[in-house]
Amino acid sequence: MGRRSLPKLDAAIDFSNHITEVDDLQAPFCPQSLFAQSADLEIEIGSGKGLFVLNESGKIPERNFIGNEIAHKYCRFAAYRLAKAERTNAHMLRGDGLKFFRELLPDHCAVAVHVYFPDPWWKERHRRRRVMQPGFIQDLERVLVPGGIFHFWTDVEQYFEETCELMKEHSDLEGPFAVKPSPAEHDMDYRTHFERRMRKNDHDVFRAQFKKLIA
């Protein structure tokens, strides 16, 4: 993430009910236990400041949303925004998303998984930190319901192409299907903060969807 400082959080807003540590969860874990009501579930890994989860949980109140973010300060900020907006269908999990998928999420629990603008980790010795790696791809396929969708967007063309190749090699999901950007109707009408930054600076964004086959 860019290193810009975040706005100060209003101490009067209690966001403790909107955030949980991944390391405090235990298997077997039911993701619906984070919410007041069970509903179709969407999960984002690497939520940053949480614009996607905030906007989508407002647009689709009949679904539940989990945002996952490893950086404490971004995760806290995202949870704060959800609490401020009084969302009961969205929750942030602070910790390693790869571990969350690998060790905690049950099979067929999500109708969609989202990865937007993951860090590319260019150096060879840092590659294992990439979110898009074979083990995660197998987990995301397992976690999706039949007919579920995986959304992947990045500004890094090489990461996009490598991910499309990895998806082909390590999953049976159909795709990539191209996705067109929608026009922004207001200043925060972007999928994520990174999409906003890229589009405002006229950078390319590479977008794809993959669909899990209905057996």
Ligand X SMILES: C[S@@+](CC[C@H](N)C(=O)[O-])C[C@H]1O[C@@H](n2cnc3c(N)ncnc32)[C@H](O)[C@@H]1O
Q: Which residues are at the interface with ligand X (CB under 6 A)?
A: 1, 45-48, 68-71, 74, 96-98, 116-119, 131, 192-194
Query: Alpha helix locations (H) across the chain?
Result: 51-59, 72-84, 97-99, 134-143, 157-170, 193-200
Q: Which is nearer to ligand X, 70 or 82 (CB)?
A: 70
Q: Which is nearer to ligand X, 97 or 176 (CB)?
A: 97
Rounded Cα distance between 105 and 31, Å, is 7
Q: What are phi and psi of 47, to 5 degrees?
A: -75, -15
Shortest reach from residue 51's CB to ligand X, in Å? 7
Shortest reach from residue 113's CB to ligand X, in Å? 13
Rounded Cα distance between 162 and 176, Å, is 12
Shortest reach from residue 214's CB to ligand X, in Å? 28
Instruction: Give the tokens for residue 132.
Output: 């898009």
Does 119 qualify as catalytic in the annotation?
yes
Q: Which is nearer to ligand X, 84 or 197 (CB)?
A: 197
Continuous segment of H or E residues that includes residue 176: strand 174-178
Shortest reach from residue 2's CB to ligand X, in Å? 8
Q: Which is nearer to ligand X, 70 or 143 (CB)?
A: 70
Q: Which is nearer to ligand X, 170 or 196 (CB)?
A: 196
Rounded Cα distance between 32 and 43, Å, is 12
Which of the residues 24, 40, 119, 187 is marked catalytic? 119
**Residue where the block lists tokens 């602070």:** 94
Name the nearest CA neighbour of 41 among 10, 25, 15, 64.
64
Rounded Cα distance between 65 and 43, Å, is 6
User: Exposed, middle or buried, 96 (CB in 10 Å: 0-12/13-18/19+)?
Assistant: middle
Shortest reach from residue 69's CB to ligand X, in Å? 5
Active site residues per annotation: 119
